[in-house]
Amino acid sequence: EAGVTQFPSHSVIEKGQTVTLRCDPISGHDNLYWYRRVMGKEIKFLLHFVKESKQDESGMPNNRFLAERTGGTYSTLKVQPAELEDSGVYFCASSRPGGIVETQYFGPGTRLLVL
């Protein structure tokens, strides 16, 4: 069974540009999460999808961030326009449908650098 995959692995863009990150969860996992680790600090929750619906987007920093999960499969996270403080590692995780203590399986992350 394939794990959670993320694309690209690295992205370097200039301030003001747009970047789109993609996450493919494990097949059959209804829950999909986005997290971010900035500057070696703690990993912070961004949002949670259940299938194609946004269950919780309380961690999204501002309206420059847009997440979608059309069809309930893969998800994209778009940053437009990117700012310097958006640099960091963006992780995606997925888990099976069921209780909230289901294990979350993480992807390798996308390292975003905004210059």
Partner 1 sequence: GNSVTQMEGPVTLSEEAFLTINCTYTATGYPSLFWYVQYPGEGLQLLLKATKADDKGSNKGFEATYRKETTSFHLEKGSVQVSDSAVYFCALSDGSSNTGKLIFGQGTTLQVKP
- The CB-of-99 to partner 1 minimum distance in angstroms stands at 8
Q: Is 97 helix (H, G, I), strand (E, B) or coil?
A: coil
- Residue 111 in contact with partner 1, rule: CB under 8 A: no
Question: Which of 40, 62, 63, 70 forms a contact with partner 1 (CB under 8 A)?
Answer: 40
How far apart are the C-alpha atoms of 29 and 74, rounded to whole Å?
Answer: 10
Site for partner 1 in 44-103 (CB under 8 A): 44-45, 48, 55-56, 59, 91, 93, 95, 99-103
How far apart are the C-alpha atoms of 7 and 19, rounded to whole Å?
Answer: 11
- Residue 104 in contact with partner 1, rule: CB under 8 A: yes
Close Cβ partners of 75 (under 8 Å, ≥ 6 residues apart): 22, 23, 25, 32, 34, 49, 67, 68, 69, 92
Binding residues (CB under 8 A) for partner 1: these are 3-4, 31, 33, 35, 37, 40-45, 48, 55-56, 59, 91, 93, 95, 99-109
